[in-house]
């Protein structure tokens, strides 16, 4: 669909994933407003043509933003992304839940034409069936994942009762330039400085890694989802490939010319043993396939990391 002069609101649009999405939308001709409290985002990530509102999604002035901007499309990305923090402080993610519900409610009141929510493959929990399809049972094991799944339930309610058109994108672990938190960034940062990172466990846990450009492609293709068909409300976006943390660390160390000798710490609660996402529904309905393998994505990410000030 053409985005020329389309009014779009992106919550979390100054963050790692959100800022890349904003860049793509503005590059496609859209008029984009960003809501971000900068708790994890950065002004340096903001596209100069984006209209910026430095507020939390829980702020009462959110209604004024919707009234002023009148977006036809909302991308909801504002959230806590720190799973260990959610386990240590289960109430923390409740702010994410309440703030996202505030955005959903404003979208309903202002008759938004499409609401796109960034969910997570973590909602499936530990399952023996992998890669995981969209209809797999849900066993979230952290407040972070519980919050994501709860928001999905609320969207189903708003869709069924109020007719809010929505699409849910369940992402694997997204990585790439501008990411300044998480295990991968920690590995790259410490190995680049001649240090070793910490593992919580043996490094045998696996993840499915999807490069940021492929994730943004997924957001863009979500605008083509046929909203009249409730079967197409939920999509997985991953590579269906599992990589252990030790393998990831070894790859990064190899690119940087370092020895991989991580410091192993006791396992932390609330972490997945392993997962990968089946993306065949996205492939069949939206024509989406990941274009970057892990090696090429890591090299691009490490090149970006080298541009950071010491």
- Catalytic positions, written as ranges: 144
Coil, strand or helix at 2:
coil
Contact 274, 268 (CB under 8 A): no
The region that residue 300 occupies, defined by phi over 0 for left and psi between -120 and 50 for alpha, beta otherwise, is alpha
In which residue are the tokens 């066993």 written? 139
Q: Tell me the DSSP string of 82-123.
A: -HHHHHH-TTHHHHHHHHHHHHHHHHHHTT-SEEEEEEEGGG
d(CA 62, CA 34): 11
Q: What is the dihedral of CA 286, 287, 288, 294, to 10 degrees?
A: 170
Helices (H), the chain: 16-27, 62-69, 83-88, 92-109, 143-157, 183-192, 212-222, 245-256, 280-286, 294-305
Phi, psi of 237 (to 5 degrees): -135, 105
d(CA 255, CA 287): 32
């Amino acid at each position: 669909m053409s985005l020329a002069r389309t009014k779009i609101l992106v919550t979390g649009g100054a963050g790692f994933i959100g800022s890349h999405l904003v860049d793509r939308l503005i590059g496609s001709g859209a008029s984009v407003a960003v809501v971000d409290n900068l708790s994890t985002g950065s002004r340096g990530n903001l596209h100069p043509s984006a209209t910026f509102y430095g507020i939390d999604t829980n702020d009462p002035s959110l209604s004024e933003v919707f009234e002023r901007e009148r977006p036809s499309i909302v991308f909801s990305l504002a959230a806590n992304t720190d799973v260990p923090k959610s386990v240590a402080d289960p109430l923390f993610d409740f702010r994410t839940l309440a703030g996202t519900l505030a955005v959903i409610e404003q979208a309903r009141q202002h008759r938004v034409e499409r609401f796109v929510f960034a969910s997570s493959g973590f909602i499936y929990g530990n399952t023996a069936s992998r890669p995981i399809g969209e209809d797999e049972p849900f066993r979230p094991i952290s407040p972070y994942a519980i919050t994501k799944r709860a928001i999905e339930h609320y969207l189903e309610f708003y869709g069924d009762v109020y007719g809010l058109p929505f699409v849910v994108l369940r992402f694997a672990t997204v990585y790439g330039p501008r990411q300044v938190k998480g295990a991968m960034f920690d590995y790259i940062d410490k190995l680049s400085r001649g240090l070793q990172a910490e593992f919580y466990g043996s490094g045998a846990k696996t993840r499915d890694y999807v490069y940021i450009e492929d994730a943004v492609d997924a957001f863009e293709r979500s605008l083509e989802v046929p909203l009249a068909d409730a079967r197409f409300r939920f999509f997985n976006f991953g590579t269906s490939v599992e990589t252990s943390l030790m393998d990831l660390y070894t790859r990064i160390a190899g690119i940087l010319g370092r020895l991989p000798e991580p410091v192993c710490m006791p396992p932390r609660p609330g972490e997945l043993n392993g997962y990968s996402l089946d993306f065949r529904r996205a492939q069949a309905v939206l024509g989406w396939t990941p274009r970057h393998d892990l090696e090429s994505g890591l090299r691009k990410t490490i090149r970006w990391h080298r541009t950071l000030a010491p």
